[in-house]
């Protein structure tokens, strides 16, 4: 099982959201996320799940982390409620950790058995949407963990004001087929 985290953060302050929304709209960023996660298992916190259009991601399974034991999903065949993150320690299939901040922090700064093998670190260099109200949500502790525990495996890839870096965990085996596929999807524009 390979654990992949994928996010897009602002370059200055590691902000990934304002209130419940992502404070930029870059089509190629959504398309990259879709290409990388299609056909795979996505892991998302309850707030992020509720921000997906129609609370779904077509052609993907979604594992929703929530403390609510009777949380209702929109598509019980493909969406699964998880109340304890340790569930993923023994999970056999690949997972794509897709936010939000509290979920990235659980995986990046918690038990090392949960740490992603690969991080797709997208860094947005433009302006934040000034119309959004709400608290800024940032992933600074995750970026600190990234800088300490990971190494870059592929040169920076720039597109539409976003630099994408593929990072792998230092000293750990990484499944090459997963890595190759991710790099292909990033560069396949």
Ligand X SMILES: NC(=O)c1ccc[n+]([C@@H]2O[C@H](COP(=O)([O-])OP(=O)(O)OC[C@H]3O[C@@H](n4cnc5c(N)ncnc54)[C@H](OP(=O)(O)O)[C@@H]3O)[C@@H](O)[C@H]2O)c1
Task: Give the per-residue SS3 of the chain.
Answer: CCEEEEEEEECCCCEEEECCECCCCCHHHHHHHHHHHCCCEEEEEHHHHHHCHHHCCCCCEEEEECCCCCCCCCCCCCEEEECCHHHHHCCCCCEEECCCHHHHHHHHHCCHHHCCCEEEEEEECCCCCCCCCCCEEECHHHHHHHHHHEEEEEEEEEECCEEEEEEEECCCCCCHHHHHHHHHHHHCC
Least spacing, CB of residue 131 vs ligand X, in Å: 14
With contacts defined by CB under 6 A, name the span among 35-43, 87-95, 96-104, 148-156 that binds ligand X.
Answer: 96-104
Least spacing, CB of residue 57 vs ligand X, in Å: 12
62 makes contact with ligand X (CB under 6 A):
no
Among 5, 43, 97, 101, binds ligand X (CB under 6 A): 101
Least spacing, CB of residue 91 vs ligand X, in Å: 15
Least spacing, CB of residue 163 vs ligand X, in Å: 14
Among 12, 20, 74, 86, binds ligand X (CB under 6 A): 20
With contacts defined by CB under 6 A, name the span among 13-21, 149-157, 161-169, 175-183 that binds ligand X.
Answer: 13-21
Using CB under 6 A, list all residues that contact ligand X.
Answer: 7-8, 16-17, 20-22, 45-48, 51, 65-68, 83, 85, 98-103, 106, 137
């Amino acid at each position: 099982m390979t654990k992949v985290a994928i996010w897009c953060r602002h370059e200055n302050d590691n902000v990934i959201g304002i209130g419940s929304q992502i404070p930029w709209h870059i089509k190629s960023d959504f398309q990259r996320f879709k290409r990388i996660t299609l056909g795979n298992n996505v892991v998302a916190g309850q707030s992020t799940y509720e921000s997906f259009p129609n609370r779904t991601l077509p052609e993907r399974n979604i594992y929703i982390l929530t403390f609510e034991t009777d949380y209702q999903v929109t598509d019980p065949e493909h969406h699964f409620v998880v109340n304890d993150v340790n569930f993923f320690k023994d999970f056999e299939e690949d997972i794509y950790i897709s936010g939000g901040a509290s979920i990235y922090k659980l995986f990046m700064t918690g038990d090392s058995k949960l740490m992603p093998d690969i991080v797709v670190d997208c860094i947005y260099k433009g302006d934040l949407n000034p119309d959004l109200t709400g608290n800024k949500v940032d992933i600074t502790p995750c970026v600190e963990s990234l800088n300490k525990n990971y190494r870059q495996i592929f040169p920076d890839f720039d597109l539409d004001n976003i630099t994408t870096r593929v990072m792998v965990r230092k000293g750990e085996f990484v499944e090459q087929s997963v890595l190759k596929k991710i790099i292909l999807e990033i560069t396949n524009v």
